[in-house]
Amino acid sequence: MLIDRARRTIPGGVNSPVRAFKGVGGDPVFFKSGDGAWLEDADGNRCIDYVCSWGPVMLGHRNAKVVAAIKAQADLALGFGAPTELEIDLAERIVSMVPSVEKVRLMNSGTEATMTAVRLARGFTGRDLIVKFEGCYHGHSDALLTKAGSGLLTLGIPNSPGVPQAVAAQTLTLPFNDAEAVRKAYAAYPQRIAGLILEPVAGNMGCIPPQPGFLETVRQITQADGSLLIFDEVMTGFRVARGGAQARYGVMPDLTTLGKIIGGGLPVGALGGRREVMDRLAPEGDVYQAGTLSGNPLAVAAGIATLDALDEEVYASLAVNTDLITRELQALGRKHGRRIAINQVCGMFSLFFDAAAPITAFEQVANANSDAYARFFHAMLQRGVYLAPSAFEVGFIGVQHTQDIIDATLAAADGALAAI
Is residue 54 involved in binding ligand HOZ (CB under 6 A)? yes
- Contacts with ligand HOZ by CB under 6 A: the residue count is 8
Q: How far is CA 237 from CA 9, 30, 257, 274, 375, in A?
A: 35, 28, 8, 17, 31
* Residue 355 near residue 341, CB atoms below 8 Å: yes
CB of 61 to ligand HOZ, least distance (A): 15
d(CA 251, CA 211): 13
Using CB under 6 A, which of 34, 36, 151, 265 touches ligand HOZ?
151
Residues in Cβ contact with 369 at an 8 Å cutoff, skipping those fewer than 6 apart: 353, 354, 355
CB of 272 to ligand HOZ, least distance (A): 21
Using CB under 6 A, which of 18, 143, 278, 420 touches ligand HOZ?
18
DSSP 136-158: ----S-GGG-TT--THHHHHT-S
Q: In terms of CB distance, is 54 or 373 closer to ligand HOZ? A: 54
Q: How far is CA 169 from CA 158, 165, 197, in A?
A: 14, 6, 16
* Binders of ligand HOZ in range 361-400 (CB under 6 A): 393
Q: How far is CA 176 from CA 136, 204, 205, 361, 412, in A?
A: 8, 12, 11, 6, 33
Q: How far is CA 204 from CA 101, 158, 166, 374, in A?
A: 24, 14, 25, 17
d(CA 416, CA 118): 43
The catalytic residue positions are 137, 232, 260
Q: In terms of CB distance, is 103 or 140 closer to ligand HOZ? A: 140
CB of 393 to ligand HOZ, least distance (A): 5
The DSSP bridge pattern shows strands 395-396 and 46-49 to be: unpaired
Is residue 111 involved in binding ligand HOZ (CB under 6 A)? no
Is residue 103 involved in binding ligand HOZ (CB under 6 A)? no
Is residue 45 involved in binding ligand HOZ (CB under 6 A)? no
CA angle 127, 138, 132 (to 5 degrees): 45
d(CA 392, CA 179): 23
Q: In terms of CB distance, is 204 or 364 closer to ligand HOZ? A: 204
Q: In terms of CB distance, is 52 or 228 closer to ligand HOZ? A: 52
CB of 164 to ligand HOZ, least distance (A): 23
What mask of x and - would describe binding to ligand HOZ in positions 19 to 38, judged by CB under 6 A? x-------------------
d(CA 130, CA 122): 8
Using CB under 6 A, which of 5, 10, 11, 16 touches ligand HOZ?
16
d(CA 157, CA 391): 15
Is residue 191 involved in binding ligand HOZ (CB under 6 A)? no
CB of 90 to ligand HOZ, least distance (A): 22
Residues in Cβ contact with 112 at an 8 Å cutoff, skipping those fewer than 6 apart: 139, 269, 289, 291
Using CB under 6 A, which of 109, 150, 170, 227 touches ligand HOZ?
150
CB of 279 to ligand HOZ, least distance (A): 31
Give the binding range for ligand HOZ (CB under 6 A) out of 16-24, 57-65, 312-320, 397-405. 16-24
Q: In terms of CB distance, is 131 or 205 closer to ligand HOZ? A: 205
Q: In terms of CB distance, is 36 or 206 closer to ligand HOZ? A: 206
Nearest residue (beta carbon) to ligand HOZ: 16
State the number of CA atoms in the 13 A half-sphere of 363 facing the CB: 4
Is residue 140 involved in binding ligand HOZ (CB under 6 A)? no
CB of 110 to ligand HOZ, least distance (A): 9
* Residue 293 near residue 277, CB atoms below 8 Å: no
Using CB under 6 A, which of 109, 146, 173, 204 touches ligand HOZ?
204
3-state secondary structure of 112: helix
Contact residues: ligand HOZ, CB under 6 A: 16, 18-19, 54, 150-151, 204, 393
